[in-house]
């Protein structure tokens, strides 16, 4: 009996031990299973961008399905983005993993270490000519997603009404044609160009000086005096005889005059190719021809970009995922979809060509030709002091537009003051 009791007790203890081991293994297995789920859990990144750059929900869902990365969009007013990035970076934090980078910010952002360098294949770089604007010391700091480069536009119907049968080749042609258009009362102010004390006036100076002279700045970043005088002289020849609306000296609507039928010639943003033929926005549908910019003695051989880009924060805790999104967002397939969904002009020449082949852009004229000859006017990248320099440039041009300075006086003032800013930032 005692022997039987011992055997029974032994069997009970053994069963309990085996049960305990089984439970332990079960817990370990459960733990491993949970860890597996955690490692496969969807990664998340945040994107701070203006409304015009927000991908559709369907596009983001497709990206998440493809990559396992969920994108939380922080739609932000363009004017607020820079301050939000600056404020967060002061505390070594990321305002977002990926954020908007305007072309004019890149020098400041790179110097402040608010942008992570980006590795991009040379084939992609060649396809996106506007990447040159976002490079400093041969490193890329943001990838352009929304294209903007300067194109010449002339209203062929107005020109023909004035007896002008050829598109302008040089700026002398533009000015002489404008005098004929004005004299024949075809249009009161034949040319429209910004002259107010704002950023559009600076960018006008940059592309005009560069496309006529092949330079704006010297290799040491100082302002080239000869190119400056040349550009200011052209602006003065347009302004003083009343070939451009005096309202452009104070208002910022110079670019709208083309689609409103209030001018016959303009150099403006590439987006005008679409807007002038939009029946809901334009009074000159089928009248305007996009052309290569006029030059000094013949057509210009380059144009200048002013694009929008996205960059990755160095304070992001998910840099790899952020980089993956940035490259997806600027890929051929996504650029094509962004144009169809948001009308964002692609930064990839190949995608512009695809859209033209499919006739999705009406009356493109020289759009593709110019997309292939985009060049940055900054020999060493956009400088950190760009905002201060731009203010000096547009204020001087506005003074000249209001006939307070001659082109020679404006050149001396601008060169002296800009070069002083350059010296202060060496």
DSSP reduced 3-state for 261: coil
State the pTM of this model: 0.89
Quote the tokens at residue 191.
């040319």
Name residues of the chain where pLDDT drops below 50. 1-39
pLDDT averaged over every residue in the chain: 93
Burial of residue 9 (CB within 10 Å: 0-12, 13-18, 19+) is exposed
Question: Measured in Å, how far apart are the chain's first and last C-alpha atoms?
Answer: 101
- The whole-angstrom separation of Cα 114 and Cα 108 is 9
SS3 92: coil
Domains in the chain, start-ordered, CATH in brackets? Answer: 43-146+308-346 (3.40.190.10), 150-304+380-424 (3.40.190.10)
CA distance 416 to 277: 43
Measure the CA–CA gap between 335 and 322, rounded to whole angstroms: 17
Give the per-residue pLDDT at 42: 77
Looking at residue 32, its pLDDT comes to 41
Q: What is the pLDDT of residue 350?
A: 98
CA-based nearest residue to 55, from 98, 103, 102: 98
The pLDDT assigned to 41 comes to 67
3-class DSSP state for residue 22? Answer: helix
Q: Report pLDDT digits (tens) over 103-121.
A: 999 999 999 999 999 999 9
Write the CA distances from 393 to 74, 196, 232, integer angstroms.
34, 11, 11
Instruction: Give the tens place of pLDDT for each residue, 35-67.
Output: 444 445 679 999 999 999 999 999 999 999 999
In the sheet with 265-269, reading across from the earlier edge strand, the strands are: 265-269, 150-155, 288-291
Q: DSSP assignment, residue 402?
A: T
pLDDT at 1: 40
Q: Kindly report the number of other CB atoms within 10 A of residue 61's CB atom.
A: 13
């Amino acid at each position: 009996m005692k022997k039987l009791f011992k055997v029974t007790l032994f069997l009970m203890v053994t069963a309990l031990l085996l049960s305990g081991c089984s439970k332990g293994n079960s817990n370990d297995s459960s733990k491993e299973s949970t860890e597996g789920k955690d490692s496969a859990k969807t990664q998340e990144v945040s994107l701070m961008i203006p409304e015009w750059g927000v991908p559709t929900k369907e596009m983001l869902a497709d990206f998440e399905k493809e990559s396992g990365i969920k994108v939380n969009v922080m739609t932000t007013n363009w004017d607020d983005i820079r301050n939000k990035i600056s404020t967060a970076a002061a505390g070594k934090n990321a305002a977002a993993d990926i954020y908007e980078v305007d072309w004019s910010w890149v020098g400041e952002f790179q110097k402040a270490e608010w942008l992570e360098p980006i590795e991009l294949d040379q084939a992609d770089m060649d396809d996106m000519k506007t990447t040159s604007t976002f490079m400093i010391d041969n490193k890329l700091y943001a990838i352009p997603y929304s294209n903007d480069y300067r194109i010449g536009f002339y209203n062929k119907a107005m020109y023909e009404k004035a007896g002008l049968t050829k598109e302008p080749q040089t700026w002398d042609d533009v000015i002489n044609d404008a005098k004929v258009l004005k004299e024949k009362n075809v249009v009161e102010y034949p040319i429209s160009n910004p002259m107010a004390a704002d950023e559009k006036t600076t960018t006008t100076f940059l592309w005009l000086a560069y496309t006529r002279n092949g330079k704006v700045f010297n290799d040491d970043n100082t302002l080239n005096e000869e190119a400056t005088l040349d550009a200011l002289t052209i602006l003065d020849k347009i302004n003083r005889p009343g070939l451009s609306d005096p309202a452009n000296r104070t208002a910022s609507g110079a670019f709208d005059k083309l689609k409103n039928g209030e001018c016959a010639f303009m150099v403006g943003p590439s987006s005008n190719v679409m807007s002038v033929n939009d029946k809901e926005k334009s009074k000159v549908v089928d009248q305007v021809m996009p052309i290569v910019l006029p030059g000094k003695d013949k057509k210009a051989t380059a144009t200048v970009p002013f694009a929008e880009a996205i960059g990755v924060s160095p304070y992001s805790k998910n840099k790899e995922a952020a980089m993956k999104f940035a490259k997806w967002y600027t890929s051929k397939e996504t650029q094509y979809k962004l144009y169809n969904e948001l009308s964002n002009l692609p930064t990839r020449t190949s995608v512009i060509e695809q859209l033209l082949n499919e006739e999705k852009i009406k009356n493109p004229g020289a759009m593709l030709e110019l997309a292939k000859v985009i060049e940055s006017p900054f020999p060493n990248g956009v400088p950190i002091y760009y905002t201060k320099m731009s203010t000096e440039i547009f204020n001087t041009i506005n003074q000249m537009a209001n006939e307070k300075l001659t082109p020679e006086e404006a050149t001396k003032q601008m060169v002296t003051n800009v070069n002083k800013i350059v010296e202060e930032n060496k």
